[in-house]
């Protein structure tokens, strides 16, 4: 059977094996998908050993997405724009890097949450790898504007500058945000990981806004709590996780799985 894996450190908590097992069952594809713990300083070796053992592809998670980008012999446009790789395919000795995180987010927002991004004012909180990875897929949906705000303002400026030729993008400090309202507010910071609140107010949410936290599986998510108090619709990042997995599965197997059943199963309804 063809072998696939998610490579990370830590990786035991990853839901990817469960998701891909369900995709394989649903589509009748014969494959094994496991979680592979890589030493922090041994990512390239882990990948080489996995290929040697018959690996056909891998998802890459924290903290190796940048290393996977360096390792890829060929990179998709999405990977180049993101500056990071979360999906590797090993084909005839060639390592191909792609990035499905951004398309996963956009698909969750548009298809699962039925929210049209076109002509909407988007606020992207954070300027790390995840934020960068979603910029191009968001821009492809022709939003009215994208505003990037980050704790370290220089990184927000850099990110906005990098994509400035492709849409109306600006960078702001958190404390400047109260002056404007946004239709779609995406938390791409790691603040929810530690249960930290962001220094933003309920004022940023426009009427009928959607608030999206890329984090998932946490009981306490201060960003979503704030958005809820503001009357916004709220969504966590589980849908993004499942959608990015489906896109990886499609790259590897040429078959697109139905994401709705696994999302329902994972949400417990």
Please identify every residue annotated as catalytic: 65
CB of 54 to ligand NDP, least distance (A): 27
Give the ranges where the chain is alpha helix by DSSP (H): 16-27, 43-52, 65-71, 77-82, 101-107, 129-139, 153-162, 222-229, 238-253, 259-267
Q: How many CA atoms lie within 13 A of 141 on its CB side?
A: 24
**What separation in angstroms does the CA of 196 have from each of 103, 104, 155, 233, 236?**
27, 25, 20, 20, 15
Residue whose CB is less far from ligand NDP, 117 or 186 = 186
CB of 200 to ligand NDP, least distance (A): 10
Q: Which residue is nearest to ligand NDP (CB)?
A: 128
By CB under 6 A, is residue 137 in contact with ligand NDP?
no
Contact assessment for residue 216 and residue 192, using Cβ atoms and an 8 Å cutoff: no
Q: Which residue has the tokens 């220094």?
A: 199
CB of 148 to ligand NDP, least distance (A): 9
Among 237, 246, 249, 253, binds ligand NDP (CB under 6 A): 237
Residue whose CB is less far from ligand NDP, 54 or 249 = 249
By CB under 6 A, is residue 257 in contact with ligand NDP?
no
| 98 backbone φψ class: left, alpha, beta (φ>0; ψ -120 to 50) | beta
Residue 83 has what DSSP assignment? T
By CB under 6 A, is residue 150 in contact with ligand NDP?
yes
Other Cβ atoms within 10 Å of 132 Cβ, number: 25
Span 43-102, contacts to ligand NDP by CB under 6 A: 101
Among 216, 223, 249, 252, binds ligand NDP (CB under 6 A): 216
Which range in 17-25, 37-45, 145-153, 248-256 contacts ligand NDP by CB under 6 A?
145-153
By CB under 6 A, is residue 262 in contact with ligand NDP?
no
By CB under 6 A, is residue 215 in contact with ligand NDP?
yes
**Distance, CA of 80 to CA of 61 (rounded, Å):** 17
By CB under 6 A, is residue 181 in contact with ligand NDP?
no
Contact assessment for residue 84 and residue 69, using Cβ atoms and an 8 Å cutoff: yes
Among 21, 190, 251, 255, binds ligand NDP (CB under 6 A): 190
Residue whose CB is less far from ligand NDP, 53 or 197 = 197
Among 70, 176, 196, 229, binds ligand NDP (CB under 6 A): 196
By CB under 6 A, is residue 160 in contact with ligand NDP?
no
**What separation in angstroms does the CA of 4 have from each of 10, 16, 50?**
17, 11, 9
**Distance, CA of 83 to CA of 111 (rounded, Å):** 26
By CB under 6 A, is residue 152 in contact with ligand NDP?
yes
**Distance, CA of 224 to CA of 176 (rounded, Å):** 20
By CB under 6 A, is residue 15 in contact with ligand NDP?
no
Residues contributing to the site for ligand NDP (CB under 6 A): 101, 126-131, 150-152, 155, 188-193, 196, 198, 214-216, 237, 240-241, 244
């Amino acid at each position: 059977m063809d072998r696939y894996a998610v490579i990370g450190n830590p990786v035991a908590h990853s839901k990817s094996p469960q998701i891909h097992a369900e995709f394989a069952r649903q589509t009748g594809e014969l494959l094994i998908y496991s979680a592979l713990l890589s030493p922090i300083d041994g990512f390239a070796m882990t990948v080489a050993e996995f290929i040697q053992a018959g690996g056909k592809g891998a998802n890459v998670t924290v903290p190796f997405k940048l290393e996977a980008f360096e390792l890829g012999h060929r990179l998709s446009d999405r990977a180049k724009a993101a500056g990071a790789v979360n999906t590797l395919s090993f084909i005839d000795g060639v390592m191909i890097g792609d990035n499905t995180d951004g398309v996963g987010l956009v698909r969750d927002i548009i298809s699962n949450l039925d929210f049209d991004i076109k002509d909407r004012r988007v606020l992207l909180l954070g300027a790390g790898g995840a934020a960068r990875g979603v910029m191009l897929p968001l821009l492809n949906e022709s939003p009215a504007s994208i505003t990037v705000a980050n704790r370290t303002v220089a990184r927000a400026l850099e990110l906005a500058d990098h994509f400035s030729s492709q849409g109306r993008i600006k960078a702001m400090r958190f404390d400047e945000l109260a002056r404007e309202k946004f239709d779609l507010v995406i938390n791409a910071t790691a603040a929810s990981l530690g249960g930290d609140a962001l220094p933003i107010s309920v004022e940023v949410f426009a009427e009928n806004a959607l608030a999206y936290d890329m984090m998932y599986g946490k009981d306490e998510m201060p960003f979503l709590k704030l958005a809820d108090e503001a009357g916004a619709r709220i969504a966590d990042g589980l849908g993004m996780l499942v959608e990015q997995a489906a896109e990886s599965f499609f790259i590897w197997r040429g078959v697109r799985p139905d994401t709705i059943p696994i999302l329902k199963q994972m949400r417990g309804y």
